[in-house]
């Protein structure tokens, strides 16, 4: 493909992409089978049902072939799914909207992988716990700020 490939970036709901306005208008002129693209997007994003997922479609105009690069939903969306709530707290310092397990936090950190800033698994887990703070989510019933302090204190202790 080289530099001759065209890219189309879209946000789709996991497993529910359609050949409608956004994808159809962007991909139609490139000569690819929009139905096949939509089918592959839905297949690759079905695990993210109910969440918006970034997808990049690269099209080689010479062969009309395409490749997909499916991103991951934001940490906040993954946490909301784990907590089973629709949205985070409006006042996260005083309002709690749900609870997630530490195991779920670890899974979110693993799923996001290189998208997170930390250079260790613990740092990435702490970053996800920090997101819980701003969303009004507790972790195993505990205030995430307290949990973060405990985790950081354990790292410093000999």
- Could you tell me which of 84, 86, 102 has the C-alpha nearest to residue 138? 102
Q: Of 34-38, 87-91, 143-147, which gets the smallest average pLDDT?
A: 87-91
For residues 6-19, b (16+ Cβ closer than 10 Å) or e, as one string? bebebebebbebeb
Identify the structural domains of the chain with CATH numbers, from first to last.
2-70 (3.30.1550.10), 75-156 (1.10.10.250)
Tell me what pLDDT residue 26 has: 87
The model's pTM is 0.70
């Amino acid at each position: 493909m080289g530099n001759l490939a065209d890219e189309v970036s879209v946000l789709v709901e996991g497993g529910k992409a359609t050949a409608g306005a956004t994808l159809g208008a962007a991909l139609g002129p490139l000569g690819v089978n929009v139905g096949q693209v939509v089918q592959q997007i839905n297949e690759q994003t079905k695990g993210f049902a109910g969440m918006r997922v970034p997808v990049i479609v690269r099209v080689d105009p010479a062969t009309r072939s395409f490749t997909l690069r499916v991103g991951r939903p934001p940490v906040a969306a993954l946490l909301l799914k784990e907590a089973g709530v629709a949205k985070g707290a409006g006042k996260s310092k005083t309002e709690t909207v749900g609870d997630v397990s530490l195991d779920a936090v670890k899974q979110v950190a693993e799923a996001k992988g290189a998208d997170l800033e930390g250079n260790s698994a613990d740092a990435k887990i702490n970053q996800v716990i920090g997101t819980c703070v701003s969303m009004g989510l507790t972790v195993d019933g505990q205030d995430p700020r307290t949990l973060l302090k405990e985790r950081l204190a354990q790292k410093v202790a000999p």
